[in-house]
A and B are shown apart, each in its own frame.
Chain A
Amino acid sequence: MTNQRNLVILFGSETGNSADLAHVLARKCRYQQFNVTVTPMNRFEVKNLLETSILVVICSTMGQGDIPRNATKFWKFMLQKKLPSNLLNHVRFTTFGLGDSSYPKYNHAIRKIHNRFLQLGAIEMSPRGESDEQSPLGSEVFYIEWEKVFFENLGKICVLFDDVNSDTLLPPENTFVVLGEKAATEDSKLVALNRAGDTTRKGTIVFNKRITAETHYQDVRQLVIEDDSGSLAYSPGDTVALYPTNDSEDVDQLLRYLKWDHIADNLIQLNGELGVDGEVVMPLTLRSLFTHHLDINAIPRRSFFQILYHFSDNERHREKLKEFSLVEESESLYDYANRPRRSIMEVIQEFESLHIPLEHCLDLFPLIHPRLFSISSGPDSRRVELTIAIVEYKTIIRKVRKGLCTRWIKTLQKGDQIVFEVHRNNLKLDSQTPIIMVGPGTGIAPMKSLIEYELGKDIPRDMYLFTGHRYRSQDFLYGSQWENRKLQLFTSFSRESGGYVQERLYEHKELVNDLLINQKAYFYLCGSSGKMPIQIRITIETILQECNDWSEDKAKQYLQQIESEHRYFQETW
């Protein structure tokens, strides 16, 4: 009854690496004549598990060992105690995890997922794989090896063809029809507001101001949105999703370049779903599709080149584009695309022999995803405030690199309407016990929200805020607001008196230790990911060791304990 030629690939991805590998694998399976469903876990209809005979999960791990955001809903479903142990005994599965051993809990997500599938009766059809980004030769080798073993094992339960020619182009998966009727040309800002469903809110920009000095290297914005319905509900630690759009000149240029400009404003009808968060805009035309949903400025990934190379008839171009599609050649792709942050648009224009068939465009271009920002205002039913660092930098390519979302944010004017959505994170931050807040850079945002929330109470809890910036006069975000408030402030200005937040923490080790051990204080850390959160953790461990005369293990154990008591929070990006 179940068709052995059906294969489901689910992914959980934060930065897109897992999604890319999932699509690479999906394409290989399609060449093996499988009907492949490849989707983020949250978008998978769980009842389809009943018809799933072969399942692959590819998933990365978030900083604290958690499941990525686009998989959390599915994961919650999986964790339900009521699920019987033979629920998935008709499923043969395997998993692959993407990890980075500089994080203590790397690859924890995939281990949890793998174990849970086993608990629910699923049969492991091929061994699990785990990659390590820190491996000196890159994480791809782990994938290559795992994929090889996967296909060996797949061949034991299904017929595989060993004479597959990947140079033949597969028919497009996501298709659409261009209708004869033209859309009434509308302002793209209005189109952005007009969405098929009602999963998003509409709001008006009331404030968009740079809050770092003009002379400072970085433009940080304070953005205030007023909810049109006045029915906002959020708590400290929650985030807002914004739906950025591409620059209209970029879109014009690309559509002209691809010679689609003459039909750019014709209405189009999708055969199936696009799978975007926040629903598709209306009216849907090639122009609105390329403005609001297709990411033409993204850094191209392997899965992009896997399709793209078919569209060049120039042998040298074709060969080079194909090279970029191979997992084995990830280093050349890295040097060509990732390192200089080259955009998809630039690649297409550089390989002038390309003739992209219109019907493949939905498969080729990645989707624009909403961007999440920590809320920096205290709870309010009408307004929500964000603190956003504008992303702009230079690489070897002359043109300044700009983040898709923050470039769009810079264009927002007072009075502009936008769509947005509040994501409730349900952090259990609320308590009467003291709290230590560490928020270097824009990591200050959720701290500000929490402080404003506390100051609205009759008796605010004791608050200890550690900030980290470069100069007091340039980028001390909301600096003047912290004075005269009922909180203890510990500043670090790295380019002035020197030092970072962790050094300030260590200077006040007796206080920090007393707060954590005796007063059962909460610890809340937010900011850039990478080494900062690790160094903070090491600092806390050291403080615990030195002040209590504990062993390293004991200190580590204590930290784990307060984590499981939900007193240690970390939100890094």
Chain B
Amino acid sequence: MSNALLLLHPTIVTSQHEVELYKAQLLASLPQGSSISQNVIDRVANNLVSFEDASFDVINYISPPEAPKLPSVVLSLFYNALKPNGKVEGAFTNDAKLEAIMAGFLVQPDGSWLKPQPMKTTVLLKKRDSNGSKKLLPKFKKAESALPTFKRANSPTLTDTSDFGDEDSDSVTAKLRETKLTFLDMDDMDESELIDEDALVDQSLLAKPIVVPVKCELPGGKKRRKACKDCTCGLKEKEEAEEKEHRSAQDILLGSMAKSADAEARKIEERISKRAASKLGEEVKFTSEDITEIDFTIQGKTGGCGSCALGDAFRCDGCPYLGLPPFKPGQVISLDSFGEDI
């Protein structure tokens, strides 16, 4: 009985028939009673789904031949999700092999990737090294000659060294990196010796041409209407005049609303005072919150295009409601959101 994960490239998912076919094929290759979970590779790559560690025996990845190589983060996700001796199957190209090895897999003759059984040697090492030295690695090498028994117990497989695999071959690079690191230090800055930054502005030093827009145009042929700071061309004045005009339109609109709200409030007050008179001793008071609320909706004011009620983001240019909050028929809106100058 196995637990398998079927991962699909998004282009495969479009055909339900194909998906079923792959599923059936996979199921046939597994022992009786095995179960399959299915997911799209994007969701895995974007961390939208996560798997428990060591939960699958097989991961089967179905992709079209032109699909890009899987990033290494995904490979390590695979590695973690697989049980020891579990494997990844799929139509992988040759250059994916290297990354598979880097991720810790053993590439099998049939092209699948095997997650090897974990080595138990690390536990032994720690036990032996009881004198508190942190440098496990060099210690381990010395120990090889001193204690041959350890050597046998420890002889690691190729994949087991994946974490520090490149170290030896890259010793030159390592040295260069070390040298570079001595310069990459903010605390060791030499502020007295700085190059002249003005000399850096020279365009001729910037050999390659810069990217300039091919088409200097916003999509949809939109015009730019933004006034500069300290505008002198008149656009700013125009904008200001528009805004002023708009505010006075708002005043009229709000005025008529407030009037109707006022009438409404008076009616309520009357009702309450009548009620209060009949039920003596029972105090009825408007809270300050009640008073700042008015019924925003007056008959027939939902707006011609139906978008005005949704708020400024949906209102047209010149809509009289611009600058006012969104509203719904029958909804009571707090005047607080208009601020102090109503």
A residues with a Cβ closer than 8 A to B are 1, 3, 5, 31, 33, 35, 45-47, 49-50, 65, 73, 75-77, 79-84, 87, 102, 105, 108, 111-112, 114-116, 118-119, 124, 127-130, 134-138, 140-142, 144-146, 149, 159-161, 163-165, 168, 170-171, 316-317, 320-321, 324, 328, 330-331, 334-336, 338-340, 342, 346, 349-352, 394-400, 528-532, 564
Contact = CB atoms under 8 A, between A and B. Distances in A.
A339 B313 CA distance: 13
B186 A46 contact: yes
Nearest to B196: A79
B246 A396 contact: yes
Contacts of B215: 141
A159 B217 contact: no
Contact of A351 (B74, B230, B311, B323): B311
Contacts of A394: 243, 247, 341
Contacts of A65: 201
A397 B202 CA distance: 46
Interface in B30-55: 42-43, 45-48
A137 B326 contact: no
B170 A532 contact: no
Contact of B194 (A76, A115, A145, A340): A76
17 contacts: A1-B166, A3-B72, A5-B71, A31-B46, A33-B45, A46-B185, A81-B190, A128-B211, A161-B42, A168-B42, A168-B48, A339-B226, A346-B337, A349-B325, A350-B325, A532-B230, A564-B198
Contacts of B340: 399-400
Contacts of B247: 394, 396, 398
B184 A47 contact: yes
A127 B217 contact: no
Most buried by B among A31, A33, A144, A164: A33
B216 interface: yes
Contacts of A165: 42
A14 B206 CA distance: 24
A324 B200 CA distance: 37
Contacts of A102: 228
A37 to B, nearest CB: 15
B68, B184, B337 — which one has the most chain A CB atoms within 10 A of its CB?
A: B184
A141 B170 contact: no
B284 interface: no
A129 B322 contact: no
A342 B224 contact: no
B71 A33 contact: yes
B126 to A, nearest CB: 26
A564 B217 CA distance: 39
B229 interface: yes
Given A115-B201, A317-B310, 17 more contacts: A49-B184, A79-B194, A80-B191, A87-B183, A111-B200, A111-B201, A115-B206, A116-B195, A138-B218, A142-B212, A163-B11, A163-B42, A168-B43, A170-B46, A320-B314, A399-B338, A400-B339
Contacts of A81: 190, 193-195
A158 to B, nearest CB: 9
A114 B211 CA distance: 14
A351 B198 CA distance: 49
A560 to B, nearest CB: 10
Contacts of B341: 394, 398, 400
Contacts of B205: 115, 118
Contacts of B228: 102, 134, 530
A335 B317 CA distance: 10
**10 A-B pairs closest in CB distance:** A399-B339, A530-B230, A531-B230, A396-B323, A112-B200, A530-B229, A81-B193, A115-B200, A79-B194, A145-B213
Contact of A82 (B173, B177, B193): B193
A342 B323 CA distance: 9
Nearest to B179: A84
Interface in B185-242: 185-186, 189-191, 193-195, 197-198, 200-203, 205-206, 208-219, 222, 224-226, 228-230, 232, 239
B196 to A, nearest CB: 9
A69 to B, nearest CB: 15
A3 B342 CA distance: 59
Contacts of A75: 197
A81 B310 CA distance: 59
Given A81-B195, A159-B68, A116 B200 contact: yes
Contact of A130 (B170, B181, B210, B246): B210
A46 B184 contact: yes
Contacts of B201: 65, 105, 108, 111-112, 115
Nearest to A79: B194
A146 to B, nearest CB: 4
Is the interface on chain B under 10, 10 to 19, 20 to 34, or 35 or more residues?
35 or more
Nearest to B243: A396
B324 A163 contact: no
Contacts, number: 207
Interface string B234-262: 00000100010011001000000000000
B312 interface: yes
Contacts of B186: 45-46, 73, 77
Contacts of A127: 208-211
Contacts of A397: 323
Contacts of A138: 218, 224, 226
Nearest to B165: A1
Nearest to A51: B177
A171 B324 CA distance: 35
Nearest to B246: A396
Contacts of B120: none
Interface string B165-182: 010001001000100110
A83 B219 contact: no
B69 interface: yes
Contacts of A144: 213
Contacts of A1: 166, 170, 173
A137 B200 contact: no
B216 A137 contact: yes
Contacts of B246: 396
A532 B215 CA distance: 33
Given A76-B194, A142-B213, A531 B312 contact: no
B171 to A, nearest CB: 12
B10 interface: yes
Contact of B211 (A46, A50, A146, A331): A146
Nearest to B313: A320
Contacts of A116: 195, 197, 200
B272 interface: no
B73 interface: yes
Contact of B190 (A82, A134, A349, A396): A82
A328 B219 contact: yes
B200 A80 contact: no
Contacts of A79: 194-195, 197
A141 B213 contact: yes
Nearest to B219: A328
B230 A171 contact: no
B75 to A, nearest CB: 11
A50 B200 CA distance: 23
B135 to A, nearest CB: 21
A112 B205 CA distance: 10
Nearest to A5: B71
Nearest to A120: B183
A159 B214 contact: no
Interface string B303-314: 000000011111
Given A137-B217, A331-B218, A564-B198, A50 B184 contact: yes
B200 A83 contact: no
